[in-house]
Amino acid sequence: MQEISKEQKQNSLKNYLKNFIESSGLAEGRELASVILSVFDSCRKVYAELQAFSSIDDQFLDSFNATGDRQLVMDMRLHNIIVSELRKNRGIASVSSEETARILEFAAASKSKGMDNSAEAKYHVAFDPLDGSSQFKRGLNVGSIFSIWKGNTALLRKPRESLEVACYALYSYRMFFALAFRGEKLLLFKVSPNGDTSLGDDKLWLKKDNDFFSPGNIRASTATNGYLPYINEMARAKKTLRYNGCLVADIHAMLISGSGIFTYPPEANKKNKLRLVFELIPIAALVEACGGLALDCESEAILDKTPILLSDTSSFVAGSSQAVESFLRFFQKKT
């Protein structure tokens, strides 16, 4: 991929994508760029909705998502906002969301209305509308995670071969929008209140060792494995603890710092919490785009795992490469 010029850095995401994709010679660059812009527009709507927060938004509904988490009023509202925004894009064949257990076909819906757009609908978009929703209730940073796949599903395919683009939006004092094309470096945009975007960083790179550690699922430390010794080792080695309790925020902090490790090992007799399609695959692609590793606790790369069901989950460790390898040595000792 070409070096990014100073002029391109100052351009909006829209102009930037146009130049970037045309110069990369991708045949279907225009459609893919338009899908990315729809994802970006849906994130801006989500951010506006979060800022209009009212007291009922952090109430629970009587419903549960595909992996059994009780849903918030806000979870479902943001799900609906994203679906209606993506539905406008005729290049999107179908979507799937962490909040529903099924694939929603857009092309089929148009067909039934006598407007067959299946010929032009080329992409599937999978998303987690409100990542870190338990922290949202506390007024802390949250995010959205997206993956864009060629075709009409994210299932039964190897992400390393079939995932086109991974993105997240972090909703903080500003919105940040990160994206990575398959096999390319990560691009991080800072979004101003009027929607203008500036390329904040295109040189994010994780060094091999970690200065920070983010230990998720600390409940697993009581099980018979090396998690507690590992956490002790991090403390002994004077590493700095940074844990937001929101995957997007923890990964963003790691990427901005250029160093770190996020761990989410399995807990005995419990299903893993983090979802492959909606969370881990796109986050793994973004971590790898910064030179990091993203594996499960059996050392398999997340991008080499084939999701079978939308509700599939996995253990997870990601970040600075040597730090990930050293965690797995500790963890797999099963002390």
CB nearer to ligand F6P: give 31 or 267: 267
Within the chain, what is the greatest distance between any pair of CA atoms?
A: 66
CB nearer to ligand F6P: give 72 or 92: 72
x-or-dash string of contact with ligand F6P, 73-112, rule CB under 6 A: ----------------------------------------
CB nearer to Mn ion: give 131 or 288: 131
Q: Which residues contact 237 (CB under 8 A, 6 or more apart)?
A: none
- Regarding 131 and contact with ligand F6P (CB under 6 A), the answer is yes
Residue type present at position 219: R
CB nearer to ligand F6P: give 75 or 211: 75
CB nearer to Mn ion: give 31 or 128: 128
Footprint of Mn ion on 233-272 (CB under 5 A): none
- Regarding 245 and contact with ligand F6P (CB under 6 A), the answer is yes
- Regarding 217 and contact with ligand F6P (CB under 6 A), the answer is yes
- Regarding 288 and contact with ligand F6P (CB under 6 A), the answer is no
CB nearer to ligand F6P: give 4 or 218: 218
- Binds ligand F6P (CB under 6 A): choice among 35, 246, 302, 303: 246
CA 263, 219, 280 angle in degrees (round to 5)? 35
Measured in whole angstroms, the distance separating CA 321 from the mean position of its chain's CA atoms is 19
* Part in contact with ligand F6P (CB under 6 A); list of ranges 10-18, 128-136, 154-162, 186-194: 128-136
Tell me the site size for ligand F6P, rule CB under 6 A. 9
The Cα 34–Cα 32 span in angstroms is 5
In the bound state, the residue with its beta carbon closest to Mn ion is 131
Residue 129 interacting entry, from Mn ion, ligand F6P, none, C-beta within 5 to 8 Å by type: none
* Part in contact with Mn ion (CB under 5 A); list of ranges 34-42, 62-70, 125-133, 292-300: 125-133
- Regarding 226 and contact with ligand F6P (CB under 6 A), the answer is no
- Regarding 128 and contact with Mn ion (CB under 5 A), the answer is yes
The Cα 197–Cα 188 span in angstroms is 10
* Part in contact with ligand F6P (CB under 6 A); list of ranges 41-49, 109-117, 187-195, 240-248: 240-248
CB nearer to ligand F6P: give 191 or 246: 246
- Regarding 46 and contact with ligand F6P (CB under 6 A), the answer is no
The Cα 77–Cα 88 span in angstroms is 17
* Part in contact with ligand F6P (CB under 6 A); list of ranges 47-55, 70-78, 131-139, 290-298: 131-139
- Regarding 132 and contact with ligand F6P (CB under 6 A), the answer is yes
Shortest Å distance, C-beta 270 to ligand F6P: 11
Taking CA atoms, 66 is separated from 69, 101, 215, in Å, by 8, 5, 25
The Cα 120–Cα 91 span in angstroms is 6
- Regarding 99 and contact with Mn ion (CB under 5 A), the answer is no
**Which residues form the interface with Mn ion (CB under 5 A)?**
128, 131
**Which residues form the interface with ligand F6P (CB under 6 A)?**
131-132, 134, 216-217, 245-247, 273
